[in-house]
């Protein structure tokens, strides 16, 4: 296995770990009304990731956006369209 293959394997492993962290956070959120309210009040996916990080979960806002439209447990992840938002 050359360096590129090893790096790709490590990236895949890290992505899988982040997804597991994200799913664990969403599972906790569905059972914690206070956490759910905090997440629903967030303006961006990065804000949600910061809340997760403060609780020991490691995932990014980009990873959260990648699962938009998917159901994880009893939580359906949806990207909020904010009028006037520019990227």
Dist CA 46 CA 64 (whole Å): 8
Decide if pLDDT at 71 tops 60. yes
Domain assignment of residue 65, yes or no: yes
Domain assignment of residue 22, yes or no: yes
Domain assignment of residue 51, yes or no: yes
Decide if pLDDT at 79 tops 60. yes
For residue 7, what pLDDT band results from cuts at 50, 70 and 90?
very low
Q: What is the pLDDT of residues 16-70, one digit of tens each?
A: 678 889 999 999 999 999 999 999 999 899 999 999 999 999 999 999 998 888 8
Domain assignment of residue 87, yes or no: no
Q: Please tell me the total count of domains within the chain.
A: 1
Decide if pLDDT at 15 tops 70. no
Domain assignment of residue 69, yes or no: yes
Q: Of 19, 32, 18, 26, whose CA–CA distance to 73 is shortest?
A: 26
- What is the reported pTM? 0.74
Which residue range is the domain that position 45 belongs to?
Answer: 3-76
Domain assignment of residue 30, yes or no: yes
Domain assignment of residue 82, yes or no: no
Decide if pLDDT at 13 tops 50. no
Decide if pLDDT at 80 tops 70. yes
Domain assignment of residue 21, yes or no: yes
């Amino acid at each position: 296995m050359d360096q590129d293959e090893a790096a790709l394997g490590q990236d895949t492993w890290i992505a899988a770990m982040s997804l597991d962290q994200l799913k664990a956070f969403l599972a906790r959120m569905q059972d914690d009304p206070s956490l759910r309210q905090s997440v629903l009040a967030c303006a961006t996916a990065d804000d949600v990731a910061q809340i997760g990080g403060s609780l020991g979960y490691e995932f990014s806002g980009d990873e959260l956006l990648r699962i938009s439209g998917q159901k994880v447990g009893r939580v359906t992840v949806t990207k909020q369209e904010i009028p006037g938002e520019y990227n």
